[in-house]
Chain A
Amino acid sequence: DAKTTQPPSMDCAEGRAANLPCNHSTISGNEYVYWYRQIHSQGPQYIIHGLKNNETNEMASLIITEDRKSSTLILPHATLRDTAVYYCIVRGIGGATNKLIFGTGTLLAVQP
C-alpha cells in the first residue's frame, strides 16, 4: 500500500471551512484515496473516497490533484462535532490490497 503523509494537527474556527491535506506521492493507478475520521472513543467513520475525480457528498468534498500525488479533504462548515482524528488512506482493490491501513492521521480541533 502507498504511504500517506498528513500534518499531525490542525485548528479550524467553527463555521469556517476545514481543509485537510494529504500527500500520497507513491500512489499507483488502481489505488483509491479514502478518508475516515475517528471521534474520541468511537470507531472510525467513513467520510468519502475517490480515484481521480473530485468527489462531494453530504459530509465533505475531496479534491485530488491531477497527478494524484496529493489530495485535500474539505469540511465546508466545520462544527465542534467535527473535532476528530482524520485519516487519509490509500487503498487498492482486490485480494490483499483491499485492506485498509491507517496511519497516524491529523487531529482537527474545531475552536468555538
Chain B
Amino acid sequence: DARVTQTPRHKVTEMGQEVTMRCQPILGHNTVFWYRQTMMQGLELLAYFRNRAPLDDSGMPKDRFSAEMPDATLATLKIQPSEPRDSAVYFCASGRGQGAVGELFFGEGSRLTVL
C-alpha cells in the first residue's frame, strides 16, 4: 500500500533547538504540501512544491522556517530556532500531476512539542 511517510512521528525539544521533519512522498507523485495543525488555528498550509520547486510558501514564517525538496523522494521542513508556539502536528501530503484534479494523500503527521 503506497503511503506518505513522515519522520519523526513525535519530537520533544527545547526552545532554541533546530528541528527537522522529513517526508517521503508516494513514488511518482510530484506535488508536496506541508501543513501545520493546532487546536487554535486548525489546518494551515505552510508550503507547496511541484516538481521539487516551491510554488507557494506564503503561509510559512520566513524568519525561522524553511522547506526544501533535495530530491523527488524527500521533502524537509526545518525550524531554526524553535519556539514553544511552534508546537503542533505537522502533516505532509503528496499528489500527482500539474494542475491535477484528484486526491492528496496525507502522512500520519509529526507531533512537535517545544518546551
The chain A residues found within 8 Å of chain B, CB to CB, are 32, 38, 42-46, 49, 87, 93-96, 98-105
Contact call A100/B45, Cβ cutoff below 8 A: yes
Q: A96-B56, A99-B45, A102-B43 are in contact. Are A46 and B103 (CB under 8 A)?
A: yes
Give chain A residues whose Cβ lies under 8 Å from the Cβ of B100: 93, 98
Could you tell me the distance in whole angstroms from the C-beta of B38 to the nearest C-beta in chain A?
12
Q: A99-B45, A100-B45, A101-B45 are in contact. Are A49 and B103 (CB under 8 A)?
A: yes
Contact call A42/B108, Cβ cutoff below 8 A: yes
Q: 13 A-B residue contacts at CB 8 Å?
A: A42-B109, A43-B4, A43-B93, A43-B106, A43-B107, A44-B106, A45-B106, A49-B102, A95-B99, A99-B48, A100-B93, A101-B45, A103-B42
Q: Using a Cβ cutoff of 8 Å, how many contacts connect chains A and B?
A: 56
The chain B residues found within 8 Å of chain A, CB to CB, are 4, 31, 33, 35, 42-43, 45, 48, 50, 55-56, 91, 93, 98-109
